[in-house]
Structures are given as structure tokens and as C-alpha cells.
Amino acid sequence: MPNTSAKLTWCKASIGEDMNWWIKEISDPIHWEIDGLGIIDPRQFQHILDLMEPLNEYGLQTDLVADAFYSFGIDEIQEDKSVLLKRINDNILDSEDPLFALPDVLDEDKGPYADLLDHITKLRIKLLNDLIDFAQNLTVEELEEEIRESQNGDYLEGRATHYFTELTSILEYVPEGFELDDDDETTPKSEDEVLEKDLADVDAGTDTEETIVADETMKWDEEEEDQEQEYEEHTSPPENVPTSEKSD
């Protein structure tokens, strides 16, 4: 396939209702179909890089990441709030400027972006099998099947799956019933729910006990006050009675 990157010099993008950026015009409409063509904004791309960081110890190849995207910088903001993006030839991983990332999807099955998806999928599976004690090891096919089901759901509802969603779905994937916490430890959700319920019961029991003790203490105080008042009424002389009468 001839190298068409030279023809890809600019594109126009606007933000959609889903808060993702979508291509509206492109300098190479012959090779690029803009219908449903998304582009990853700088904030999203940094988030993707952060999600990839745990994969470094499992063999992440950064050259695959760099090759998978065309980088663009903002050249002009249009009156309709769309942006004109100009192609930047710098390596997107080395640039200090915030850049938009357009996946290289000219060959959806064997291109650089497809290679990256395959690569991070395998590494994510390695990470999950390492951190979670499954009864049977998780497979790449299981992850890919769930991703396809999600994308098919978007298609049936008339939505295109944005590349940011596709990437994060892989990088954040955890099988149903399990969780990864900040320390990369996993606990089945069912156990978490039981633990949370037990803690809630304990808290509720403690609060109830403290309330009961407080109520009974208040009642004892009231009884003591009544007894003191009754004693004073019986022992104190009547009011407005002359002293002489008291002595009689």
C-alpha cells in the first residue's frame, strides 16, 4: 500500500454530545472515511498513557504506541467552535506540546493501530492473570468478545465507538465479579458486598447501643430530678407562712 501520510496534512474536528472529538473534514478524503471517525484529544491521550503505565513491566512496546497515531496540533479555532488541526511530524510520545492523536486505521485489520490493540490486549490479560487468582486463566478471546459485544451495541443504537472508548475498554478491563484497587489487589465483588454489609451492621449496632444507653441515662436523670423535687416539697416549709406559725 502506498504511503498516504504525506496527503494527511490537516483535519477539522468538533466536539460531540458525548464530549468526544469527531473529524468533520480531512485533507485526504480519498483514503479516509470521516463518517464516525474520531480523534483523541490531548487530555484523553494522556489518560491512555497513564493506563498503559502498569503494562511496562509486562513488556509494553512504546514504539507500537508511537507508530499507531498521527499527531496533530491546534492551528485555529473556528467560529462554530470546531478546531483546525495541522499535522505534526514529531513523535507523539516525545512532544512536550499537547497533541491530538488520530489512530492509523487505514488498514483496520493489519495496520499500526490494529497491532497496538492486539499488543495491549495481550498485556492486559497477562496483568489480570498475574493479579487475580482465577479458577481458570483469563483468555484474550474473552476480552475481545466483550469488547465486540459493546461495539455491536453501539452500532445497533446508531453510534460509532470512539477510539478513546475502545482503548480504555481494553486498558480498564476487569472480568465481571472482580475489581482492581489502587494497590492492584483484587477481591471478588460478592465478598466486598458481604464485607460492606457486615461493617454496616456493626456500625448500626454500635449506633443503636449508644442511643439506647443515652436514652436510659436521660431517663435515670429525670427520675433523680423528680425524687429530689418530691423530697424538697415534703421537707420545705410552706411559702408565705409567718415564722411564729412555723414554730407552733
- The bridge status of strand 83-88 relative to strand 21-26 is unpaired
- Cβ atoms of 131 and 184 within 8 Å: the answer is yes
What are all long-range contacts of 30-38, with beta carbons under 8 Å and residues at least 24 apart?
Answer: 31/4, 31/7, 31/106, 32/8, 32/106, 35/160, 36/160, 38/160, 38/162, 38/163, 38/164
Segment among 15-24, 200-209, 225-234 with least mean pLDDT: 200-209
Residue 74 above 70 pLDDT? yes
Domain range for 223 is 188-227
pLDDT tens for each residue of 157-185: 878 899 999 999 999 999 888 787 654 44
**Residue 236: inside a domain:** no
| Confidence tier at 234 by pLDDT (50, 70, 90) | low
pLDDT of residue 209 exceeding 80, the answer is: no
Q: In what order do the strands lie in the sheet with 21-26?
A: 38-39, 21-26, 10-15, 83-88, 69-77, 100-103
Residues 45 and 75 in one domain: yes
- 163 or 5, which is more confident? 163
Shared domain check, 109 and 93 = yes
Percent of the chain with pLDDT over 90: 54
Do both 35 and 110 map to the same domain?
yes
Identify whether residues 171 and 210 lie together within a single domain: no
CB 186 within 8 A of CB 167: no
CA distance 242 to 240: 7
Residues 182 and 60 in one domain: yes
Consecutive H or E run containing 67: helix 62-67
pLDDT at 63: 96
Q: Answer yes or no: do 91 and 199 share one domain.
A: no
pLDDT reading at 45 higher than 90: yes
Higher confidence at residue 213 or residue 238? 238
| Gap between the Cα atoms of 117 and 121, Å rounded | 6
Identify the pLDDT of residue 40. 98
| pLDDT at position 3 | 36
**What pLDDT, in 10s, does the model give residues 132-158?**
988 899 999 999 998 888 888 887 887
Looking at the predicted structure, is the pLDDT value of residue 199 above 80?
no
- 192 neighbors 181 (Cβ within 8 angstroms): no
| In-domain check, residue 104 | yes
What's the mean pLDDT when you consider all of the chain? Answer: 79
pLDDT above 60 for 51? yes
Structural domain total, the chain: 2
Q: Which of 9, 41, 40 is nearest to 25 (CA)?
A: 9
